[in-house]
Structures are given as structure tokens and as C-alpha cells.
């Protein structure tokens, strides 16, 4: 179903916005103006808005669930698959979690205004760096309507204005949630344009959103790889992006076998569809023969399909043949590629060649090898003796997460409030001039 | 003179590189490979390379000056203006400064490997962030040949590989300097591909350099606004850019008049051609009548041309009329726009509307206004009672500067070694798995 068709067929929840370019320009202008108000918003006011949104959502449970039911019905009619429908669905439990999430963001420390490294210079000035909002953040996401609220709350708390563009399949839910956000902002005396939910499913809106550097400072796409690649290619503003997670666990010969087993099983099986799930297991040749059969047994109990290199298949004949393509694949499924390697050098080479620089772990009790792995593996998270599944904003103590960045510049790895801010230099003087 | 013409006419210093695309791809591949070696290079080896380069340059003074003389001659024949010829020219004094610069970078602390914020989490893992090189940095610059050495030294010290593309007018000088860099890297046992100077002036080389995300992690253009805008528009990798500096000093009614005078004169007259020079003076109405005549006298002594708003011209009839365009102009010359404003609110509005978010200062003795200006002005440097001319990597204590970023993401303001690095998450565990 094309965006244009939806636009004309379903005008109730898809507002008639007129010319889409002009509409997006108006959103951009309003966001830019709201951003300069939000930049100086008091922490107390931002927290009050978050709590007011929570209260408004609690009052509007029936409206939100009714809107969600309309989205689900349309989705079923349109032939959405079960996984997408599940991501789209809201229920009382999910609403509870959304309300709780808002309250938690209110309790997080406000990153704005923090000054680091204030030092006196020989000239007599004092120089430091102050954390400040980025400005206007555009977020483009797919089916899950709770992202609307999560993104709004994180952008708000970090002093930014946000323009949110959700998936067309969630448009009724998003509109109902947007009403709660607006009301909460009004209750707290903050500008409603601090969070704007794009009220059209016309795809041209995305094209315009990512090409207004005068109004938008950064785009954060959340969704499938193809969406993110397209946005990165076409954007005229910086993009904080999250591509795939081809994550590795390398079990060195020096590993504690029990830790190795626990970590390798947890990293693969605790959840299959997440980006920090291990996709390839690398195992050092001297311990392959003893550990692989134990691992295979554990994976079999979880129904994980194994694909191995030749040396793996000598030990585990039940494993399928891993092709060159397997090493670079993010399965997001109960499938695991296994390769026997000769030591850490070969493991790091494999990770560098086939990995996606997301999260990689070593299991070892050897001090020097642990240090080397941590220094040399160029990924957003590197770990010793821990499951890759820990690569997550909450587990890292960020308190919240807008996504995981696989970029190198600005924010790398899980992105919390700090990743939505930048730092400017502050200089305090008493009349100093440059000689 | 087109790049193609130069290419065929001057083959001595413009190597026959064959197919430019293929040549740049080879440089990219070699850089990517060198980057993974440089990532783990010991601080001592990097410093040894810097000192070896200094020694090699000292030995090669005659060759470098002879090459520079050829560039200057070609420049004069080609009709380069005096300012460009001055920027292109090397002499013993400039060579001394370049050698000294290398030694200073060797004394700077190595940013690579520093771990921040390592904290225990309830799960038992410890999480922190380790500073690591960006990878491969492409630097595109114009006439000044000493940039070749500066850029090489900063990229090297921060553990990156660099691909340097200098201006065609400096090609002989750059080739001679590149030979010293290569020799220094060899002396220290580091890969020569850690610093590669593009050996063709064909413009297609730039087009390819900025569009190889598989080999290049970031582009830093140094040069005029049009060069930087073109590169930003066409790049397929992140760009750390420096656009214009329309810097302001706002003198509040609460200012100490002597400090105001000293700062406003220094910010404009200490140097005219620098990006942190004040271009517009904003003055609070209650003190305009007493301060503007004293300021005008000082500016007259420096030969600065004044352009004022209507209220300014009532007090200073000698000032020309400032047009709407003047407020947004980076003069880089002894010209100053002056506007009388009604208080800090109007000053901040003016800065937000016309400024370039580079460097802005307030002169005040009022605590609350100082705090407000620092919080609300959204520029890469904000100052109280100090000259805008302090916005500089050396004055800020970065020890070195690859440029000043007017971007918001990643690095903002003067960019030193830290701006050439990024941070990855490090997780230390003892067998922890996710529940």
C-alpha cells in the first residue's frame, strides 16, 4: 500500500496537511524556535512536563487503546505479519511501562549545563566545556508506538526540540500519544512545538525532514537496515545511525571453561532478535575439541542451528557448512556460525574482516590477552568475560537509551541523554585580551 | 589553470599516478591497513616518529626550501596574489617553527587508551569508556605547506592514519615535506602508509577521497568557505567543518568601561583575518553615548572602518550605514559593524539571528546576566569579560589545533588531539551473563 494511497484513504488520522514541503518547513521553523526556549528550560519544568505527560497518558488509556485497536485492525487487513502486529500492539501492561518510563526519565540527572575541566590558563582566562542541547532532533522510526513517548521524553529532558516521524501503521496510536505529550507540555508551561509528531504518512515528509539543516541538527533513524541506509545516503544533516550487529565471542585457550560456556550460551540464546546477540563464535584451536561438544549440546537444547568452518565440522559433524556469507550475517535468529581459529591474532583478524564493529567479547583468564583484545578490537563495545547481551543503555547505567550508534563520530554504542547533547567551550575572564 | 593542465604540464612534482580512482582506492586500502597498526602503536613509537620527522626535516632544509622556491616561482607566473604567495612561502624561520611544532606534539599526552567513568553496575560488570583513534582521517587543505606537517603530526599522535591532500600551488613543497614524514615513520618502524600525501593535483582525487566510507572515517577540510561547503555537500563520510566566524562582543550597561574598551578593541584589532575576530559590536543603549565615542577614537587609531545602525550613527555620525547584510558578514578586515541594543535579550536575539555560532562574548559585571549569556548563547565558544580572540586551541590548552569546528556533533570549537579520537565502551566481567 503506497503512502499516497493511505494519505487519501484514511484522512481521519492522517491530517490534511496541504503541501507537505510547506508543512514540514512550518514544523521545522516551530521546532527551531522551541529549541531556543528549551535550551534554557529549568530542570524542574522539564521534569514537570514529563510527569504531566505520564498523568495525561494515564487518563487517556482508553483513547490510546482504542486508537491502537484501529491501527491493529488496519494492519491485519493490510496483511502485516505477526511480529509486526506484536510490535504495534499496546495493552495495559505496555501502557504501565510507558508511564513508568516517563517517571524514570524525570528522575535522571539533567545533563544540560554541566561544566567539565574548567582550568585556568596562563593568560588568566578560565576555560571549560559546558554540556548543551544539540538543538532540533528528528527521529524516524517504525511500528512500535511507545518509541513516540520514549523519544519525546529523552529529547525533552536533554533540552532539545524533537520532530517525530513514526510508521504509518501506528498513526492512530501515535496521534493519541501525541495528544498526551502536547497536553503535558502545556501543563508545564513549555512550548508545544518542543515535541511535534508529524501528522502525515506521506513519504515526502521524511525526504524534507532529513534535508532541512537550517531547522534540524541531527537525524536519528530507528528501524531496519534498509531504512537507515537510505536515510544516511539522502540526509543533508548529520545522522546518528545504527546499522547491523554482527557480534562475536572469542573463547581463548586460556578461558575458564565454565565461564566460556555460560557466556557463549547466554550471548546467543538469551534473545535472538537483538543487535547485541552473538552471531559468530570464534574458538581457539587448543580448546575446540573439549568445549565445542559441550557447547553444541547446550545449543541443541535451545534449538540453535549450527554452521561451522571445516575444522568445526570435524568435531561437530552435525553442523552445516558455514559459507563466506555466514561470517558477515546478522541472523537475528537461532542460528550460529562457529569458526575454529589459531589464537587471538586470528580472532581479531576475523572480527575486523567480517564484524560490524558493534559488540565483541573475549573469554580469557590471560591478563595480557584481555588487555590486547580491549585495545585492538575497534567496536563500539568490547568486553572481557561478559555476555555481549550487556551492550545496552540500561545495563550500562545510562538510565535510558534512544538507540545504539554504530557510528564512530559523536556518539558510539548505546546513546542516552548525553548523546543528545554536545559541549561548547566556556571562557571566564576579568578583562583579559590576547597579546 | 585547470587541474588537468597542471597534471600534464608539470609531471616532475605531480607523479603519474595512472587512473586517479584506482590510485585513491590504493591509498585508502593502505590507510585502512595502517590504521589498524597505528591503533595499537606504543606512545613511545609515535613520539619517536615525530622526533625523527623533525630531524629529517632539519636535514632536508635545503631541499624543502628549493622545492618551495619552485612553487613560489610557478605561483608568481600563474598570477597568485601577494597574500597567497605569503601563505605559500617557507623560510628558515618557518622551518624552525615546523620543527618545533613536531617536538611539541611529541610532548603532548597520548589520548589513546584513556578510560573514563569506569563504574560497577548492579549486574557485576564494570563499564567505562576508552578513548580510541577515529581510524583514517582525510584532510583537504589549501596553500600553506606547513599544514602538511601539522596535520600529519596530530593524526599520528592520536593513533590515526592520514591521507593528506594539499593545494596544487604547494605541490613541490608538500612532496619534499612528505619525504621527511615518510623517512621519520620508517626510522621509527611505523608503516609509511600511516601518513600518505596525495601525489596528484587532479581534482578527481578529492571527489574520490570524500566518497570512500569503507576506507576513510572522517574528512577535515581546511580552507575557504566555498571549498568547505562543496566538500560537505558531496561527502559520503562525516565532515568536521569550519565555516565562518561572525563573532560578537556585547557590552552590557553593567560592564566595567575599561574592560569593555580593552576587550572590544582587542577583539577587533589584534588580528583582522582570523575567524575569532569580532565582526559586530553590540552595545547596550544606556552606555552607548559614553562608550561609543571612546571606542570610535580607538578604532580610528587602528584605521578600522565603522558601519552602524541608526542609533549608532546619531552618536557616531562618521560611521557608514550598516545594511542588513553587514550583520551577517565576516569581514576578515578592518571593518566593524556596530549596533545599539536594548539589553541582553535583544543582544542574544541578534546573535542568534545573524551570528554563525562561532564565538561570542559579553562584557558585564552582573552575575545573573553573565550566567544567562553563557547558558543561552548557542555558540562553540561563549565568553564573559574576555576577548573573542582567545578562541584557539593553544589558548585553550589543547596543545595543538587541527582546526575549529562550527559543527555541533562530535567536536565543537577548537579541535585538538581529543577531537581526532572517539570513545568505545569497555566492559570488564568475571563470567557475567544477562538475566
Q: What is the pLDDT of residues A286-337, one digit of tens each?
A: 999 999 999 999 999 999 999 999 999 999 999 999 999 999 999 999 999 9
Question: Is there a single domain that holds both residue B163 and residue B251?
Answer: no
Cell numbers 584451536 label which residue? Answer: A285
Q: Are residues B142 and B64 in the same domain?
A: yes
Domain check: are B178 and B305 in the same one? Answer: no
Residues A302 and A196 in one domain: no
For B71-80, the CB contacts below 8 A with 24+ separation are B71/B145, B71/B169, B71/B170, B71/B171, B71/B172, B71/B173, B74/B10, B74/B169, B74/B172, B75/B169, B78/B1, B78/B169, B80/B169
Q: For the domain that residue A172 is a member of, what is the CATH number?
A: 3.40.605.10
Q: What is the DSSP letter of B323?
A: P
B337 inside domain: yes
The answer to whether A27 and A198 are in contact (CB under 8 A) is yes
Q: A76 is written with which cell numbers?
A: 491485519
Instruction: Determine the Cα–Cα distance for residues A190 and B270; give it in Å rounded to an integer.
Output: 43
pLDDT at B14: 52
Q: Which of residues 399-418 of B touch A (CB under 8 A)?
A: 407-410, 412-414
Q: Is there a contact between B286 and B253 (Cβ–Cβ < 8 Å)? A: yes
Render pLDDT for A222-246 as a digit per residue (tens, 0 to 9).
Answer: 888 888 989 988 898 899 988 889 9
Q: How confident is the model at residue B15 (pLDDT cuts 50, 70, 90)?
A: low
What pLDDT sits at residue A244? 87
In a domain, A361, yes or no: yes
Q: What is the secondary structure of B5-50 as a DSSP string?
A: HHHHH-TTTS---SSHHHHHHHHHHHHHHHHHHHTT--HHHHHHHH
State the average pLDDT for chain A: 94
pLDDT at B231: 92
* B229 lies in the same domain as B258: no
Residues in B closer than 8 angstroms to A422, CB to CB, are: 408-409, 412
* Chain A residues lying within 8 Å of B429, measured CB to CB: 383-387, 390
The reported pLDDT for the residue numbered B244 is: 87
Q: What is the tens place of the pLDDT at every residue in A66-102?
A: 999 999 999 999 999 998 899 999 999 999 999 999 9
Average pLDDT over residues B389-393: 95
**B409 vs A238, A372, A386: nearest CB:** A238
C-alpha dist (Å) from residue B155 to A174, B214, B228, B415: 46, 19, 20, 12
Q: What pLDDT shows up at residue B16?
A: 66
Interface pTM, i.e. ipTM = 0.92
- For A348-368, b/e burial (b = at least 16 CB within 10 A) is bebbbebbbbbbbbbbbeeee
Do residues A61 and A186 share a domain? yes
Distance between B379 CA and the closest CA of chain A, angstroms: 7
Q: Which of A201-210, A294-303, B290-299 has the lowest mean pLDDT?
A: A201-210
Residue A333 lies in a domain: yes
pLDDT-derived band of residue A7, with 50, 70 and 90 as boundaries?
very low
Question: What whole-number distance in Å separates Cα of residue A311 and Cα of residue A338?
Answer: 10
Place of cell 524533537: A162
Cross-chain residue pair B125–A384, CB shorter than 8 Å: no
What is the model's pLDDT at position B6? 39
Q: Write down the pLDDT at residue A243.
A: 81
In a domain, A214, yes or no: yes
Find the closest chain B residue to A269 by CA distance.
B434
Retrieve residue A300's grid coordinates.
541443541
State the nearest Cα–Cα gap between B6 and chain A, in angstroms. Answer: 33
Q: Are residues A111 and A259 in the same domain?
A: no
CATH of the domain at B323: 3.40.309.10
Q: Is A18 exposed, middle or buried (0-12, 13-18, 19+ CB in 10 A)?
A: exposed
Q: Does residue B102 fall inside a structural domain? A: yes
Q: Is B268 in the same domain as B223?
A: no
Residue B398 confidence (pLDDT): 92
Q: What is the pLDDT of residue A2?
A: 35
Residue A386 forms contact with B (CB below 8 Å): yes
Cα of A320 to nearest chain B Cα, Å: 27
Pairwise CA distance, residues A243 & A229, whole Å: 8
Question: Does residue A317 lie within any of the structural domains?
Answer: yes
Q: For residue B52, what are the domain limits?
A: 3-234
Interface of B with A in 219-278 (CB under 8 A): 233, 236, 238, 240, 256, 258-259, 262-263, 265-267, 270
How many domains is chain B built from?
2
Q: What is the pLDDT of residue B253?
A: 98
CA-nearest of A267, A365, A257, A404 to B434 is A267
State the nearest Cα–Cα gap between A57 and chain B, in angstroms.
Answer: 30
pLDDT of residue A225: 84
B314 and B184 co-located in one domain: no
Q: How many CB atoms lie within 10 A of CB B147?
A: 23
* SS3 (DSSP) at B167: coil
Q: Do residues B173 and B26 both lie within one domain?
A: yes
Q: Is the pLDDT of residue B10 over 80?
A: no
Same domain membership, residue A259 and residue A161: no
Whether residues B264 and B191 fall in one domain: no
Using CA coordinates, name the residue in chain A closest to B264. Answer: A433
A432 Cα to chain B: minimum distance (Å): 5
Q: Is the pLDDT of residue A38 over 70?
A: yes
Instruction: Pick B127's closest partner by Cβ from A121, A267, A396.
Output: A396
User: Residue B207: is its pLDDT beyond 90?
Assistant: yes
At residue B295, does pLDDT exceed 80? yes
Closest residue of chain B to A36, computed from CA coordinates: B376
Which chain A residue has the Cα nearest residue B382? A426
Average pLDDT, chain B: 94
Res. A13: pLDDT tops 80? no
A386 contacts in chain B (CB < 8 Å): 125, 427-429, 431-433
Query: What are A186's strand-pairing partners?
Result: none
Q: In the listed set B234, B259, B274, which residue is the last one of a domain according to the structure?
A: B234
* Whether B424 contacts chain A with CB within 8 A: yes
The residue among A200, A234, A268 that closes a domain is A234
Distance from CA of A377 to the nearest CA of B (A): 9
Predicted TM-score (pTM) of this structure: 0.91
Residue A241, domain member (yes or no): no
Cβ A409–B413 below 8 Å, yes or no? no
Nearest to A409 among B218, B270, B386 (CB): B218
Last residue of a domain, one of A234, A262, A293: A234
Model confidence at B12, pLDDT cuts 50, 70, 90, reads: very low
Asked if residue B242 is part of any domain, the answer here is no
**Alpha-carbon Rg of chain A, whole angstroms?**
24
Q: Which of residues 151-210 of A touch B (CB under 8 A)?
A: none
Amino acid at each position: 500500500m503506497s503512502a499516497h494511497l493511505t494519505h487519501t484513504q484514511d484522512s481521519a488520522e492522517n491530517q490534511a496537511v496541504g503541501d507537505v514541503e510547506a508543512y514540514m518547513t512550518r514544523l521545522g521553523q516551530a521546532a527551531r524556535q522551541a529549541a531556543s526556549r528549551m535550551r534554557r528550560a529549568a530542570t524542574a519544568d522539564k521534569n514537570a512536563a514529563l510527569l504531566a505527560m505520564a498523568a495525561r497518558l494515564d487518563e487517556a488509556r482508553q483513547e490510546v487503546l482504542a486508537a491502537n485497536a484501529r491501527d491493529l485492525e488496519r494492519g491485519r487487513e493490510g496483511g502485516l505479519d505477526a511480529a509486526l502486529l506484536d510490535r504495534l500492539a499496546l495493552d495495559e501492561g505496555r501502557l504501565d511501562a510507558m508511564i513508568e518510563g516517563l517517571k524514570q526519565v524525570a528522575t535522571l540527572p539533567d545533563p544540560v549545563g554541566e561544566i567539565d575541566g574548567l582550568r585556568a590558563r596562563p593568560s588568566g582566562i578560565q576555560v571549560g566545556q559546558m554540556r548543551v542541547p544539540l538543538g532540533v532532533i528528528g527521529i524516524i522510526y517504525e511500528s512500535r508506538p511507545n518509541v513516540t513517548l520514549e523519544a519525546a521524553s529523552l529529547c525533552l529532558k536533554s533540552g532539545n526540540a524533537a520532530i517525530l516521524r513514526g510508521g504509518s501503521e501506528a498513526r492512530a496510536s501515535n496521534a493519541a500519544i501525541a495528544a498526551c505529550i502536547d497536553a503535558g507540555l502545556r501543563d508545564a508551561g513549555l512550548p508545544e512545538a518542543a515535541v511535534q509528531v508529524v501528522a502525515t504518512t506521506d513519504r515526502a515528509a521524511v525526504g524534507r525532514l532529513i534535508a532541512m539543516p537550517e531547522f534540524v541538527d541531527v537525524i536519528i533513524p530507528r528501524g531496519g537496515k534498509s531504512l537507515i541506509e537510505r536515510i544516511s545516503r539522502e540526509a543533508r544533516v548529520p545522522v546518528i545511525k545504527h546499522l547491523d550487529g554482527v557480534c562475536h565471542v572469542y573463547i581463548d585457550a586460556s578461558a575458564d571453561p565454565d565461564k566460556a560456556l555460560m557466556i557463549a550460551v547466554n550471548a546467543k540464546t538469551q534473545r535472538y532478535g537483538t543487535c547485541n546477540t552473538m552471531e559468530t563464535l570464534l574458538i581457539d584451536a587448543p580448546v575446540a575439541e573439549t568445549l565445542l561438544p559441550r557447547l553444541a549440546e547446550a545449543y541443541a537444547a535451545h534449538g540453535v542451528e549450527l554452521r561451522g568452518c571445516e575444522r568445526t565440522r570435524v568435531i561437530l559433524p552435525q553442523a552445516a557448512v558455514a559459507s563466506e556469507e555466514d561470517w558477515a550475517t546478522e541472523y537475528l535468529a537461532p542460528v550460529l556460525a562457529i569458526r575454529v581459529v589459531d589464537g587471538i591474532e586470528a580472532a581479531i583478524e576475523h572480527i575486523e574482516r567480517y564484524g560490524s564493529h558493534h559488540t565483541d567479547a573475549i573469554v580469557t583468564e590471560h591478563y595480557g590477552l584481555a588487555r590486547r583484545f580491549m585495545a585492538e578490537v575497534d567496536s563500539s563495545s568490547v568486553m572481557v568475560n561478559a555476555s555481549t547481551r550487556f551492550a545496552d543503555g540500561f545495563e550500562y547505567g545510562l538510565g535510558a537509551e534512544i538507540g545504539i550508534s554504530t557510528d564512530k563520530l559523536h556518539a558510539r554504542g548505546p546513546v542516552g541523554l548525553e548523546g543528545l547533547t554536545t559541549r561548547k567551550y566556556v571562557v571566564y575572564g576579568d578583562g583579559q585580551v590576547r597579546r
